[in-house]
Amino acid sequence: MDTSTTITHDEHRDDEASKLGMWLFIFTELLLFAGLFIVYGVYRYENQEAFHSAGKELSVPIGTINTVILLISSATIAMASSAIRFKNKKLTIRLLVVTLLMALIFMVNKYFEWTGKIEHGYLPGTDTLMNMEQGKVLFYGLYFFMTGLHALHIIVGVILITIVVIRVNKNTLSDENPVLLDNAGLYWHLVDLIWIFLFPLFYLIA
């Protein structure tokens, strides 16, 4: 008797459980970033002036465009969850591909923004930054750490959504079992949610 498979492929499938599990995971992600927001809050409180002037050097247009891009991608993946339930496979895939494209544009923007800042010598550990005032060192340390961690989440999200696209295409994911798509969506909204707070904290409060 092949018992190890009888347990994992239990005839009973529990989508509510999968969703609850995903939400709990999202809670851990929120707390992970909460730790960073605490650090940001404390150092901002202690270095008001330096954070002000450092924040002014970030490009508000690029930040705004990236925010809008992420919001659109969030909307498209949410719509994909509806589309798959309307049994519209073509539209589902299109919406997911748009989501992926948006993620790609976001990363390209991020790349140019980062390289720009690195050229100015704001990369943590470099001599130029180390010789600046302390608040600035902290600001750019946090900037690279937090947006970097966020970008890492985008990459994971892109991988996850790609898997979903492949499975929808192969019909192994349909209106019968859309929970993986829903969970990928939840994860993607989390990425969006974090950016919603990162954007004003780094780009706007100057």
Residue from 59, 75, 89, 101 that binds other proteins (CB under 8 A)?
75
Task: Tell me which stretch binds other proteins (CB under 8 A): 68-76, 104-112, 153-161, 166-174.
Answer: 68-76
- Give 68's Cβ-side CA count (13 Å radius): 5
**What is the rounded distance in angstroms from the CA atom of residue 45 to the CA atom of residue 201?**
12
| Burial (0-12, 13-18, 19+ Cβ within 10 Å), 186 | middle
In angstroms, what is the minimal distance from the CB of 157 to other proteins?
14
Residue from 42, 108, 118, 156 that binds other proteins (CB under 8 A)?
42
By CB under 8 A, is residue 192 in contact with other proteins?
A: yes
**What is the rounded distance in angstroms from the CA atom of residue 88 to the CA atom of residue 174?**
9
The secondary structure of 147-173 as a DSSP string is: HHHHHHHHHHHHHHHHHHHHHHHTTSS
In the region spanning residues 121 to 180, those forming contacts with other proteins, defined by CB under 8 A, are 124-125, 130, 133-135, 137-138, 141-142, 144-145, 149, 178-179
Tell me, residue by residue from 7 to 36, as one string, x for binding to other proteins by CB under 8 A and - for no binding: xx-x-xxxxxx-xxx-xxx-xxxxxxxxxx
By CB under 8 A, is residue 90 in contact with other proteins?
A: no
Which pair of tokens denotes residue 85?
Answer: 């339930």
Torsion angle of the four alpha carbons 47, 149, 113, 104, in this order, in degrees rounded to the nearest 10 = -150
Residue 41 identity: G
By CB under 8 A, is residue 106 in contact with other proteins?
A: no
- Angle (CA) 86 94 74, round 5°: 85
Task: Tell me which stretch binds other proteins (CB under 8 A): 80-88, 105-113, 114-122, 157-165.
Answer: 80-88
By CB under 8 A, is residue 94 in contact with other proteins?
A: no
**What is the rounded distance in angstroms from the CA atom of residue 66 to the CA atom of residue 123?**
21
In angstroms, what is the minimal distance from the CB of 108 to other proteins?
20
Nearer to other proteins, 35 or 171 (CB): 35
Task: Tell me which stretch binds other proteins (CB under 8 A): 81-89, 110-118, 154-162, 165-173.
Answer: 81-89
Kindly determine how many residues on this chain lie close enough to bind other proteins according to the rule CB under 8 A.
83
Is-contact 85 175, C-beta < 8 A? Answer: yes
By CB under 8 A, is residue 114 in contact with other proteins?
A: no
